[in-house]
Amino acid sequence: MENRKVEKLLYGEMRRSYGSDEISYGARVKVSIWRE
């Protein structure tokens, strides 16, 4: 449950900071792997 919150925060931060689809997608994949 906590990890989901972290994923949303991290993903949101990455998108806001860089505004790049590539970076956003990369962050999402990294977090998904880390979550498993």
pTM for the predicted model, two decimal places: 0.24
Cα 24 to Cα 4, 7, distances in angstroms = 16, 12
Position 5 scores a pLDDT of 75
**Band (34; pLDDT cuts 50, 70, 90):** low
Q: Per residue in 1-32, pLDDT tens?
A: 566 777 776 666 666 655 555 656 666 677 66
> Whole-angstrom Cα distance, residue 5 to residue 21?
21
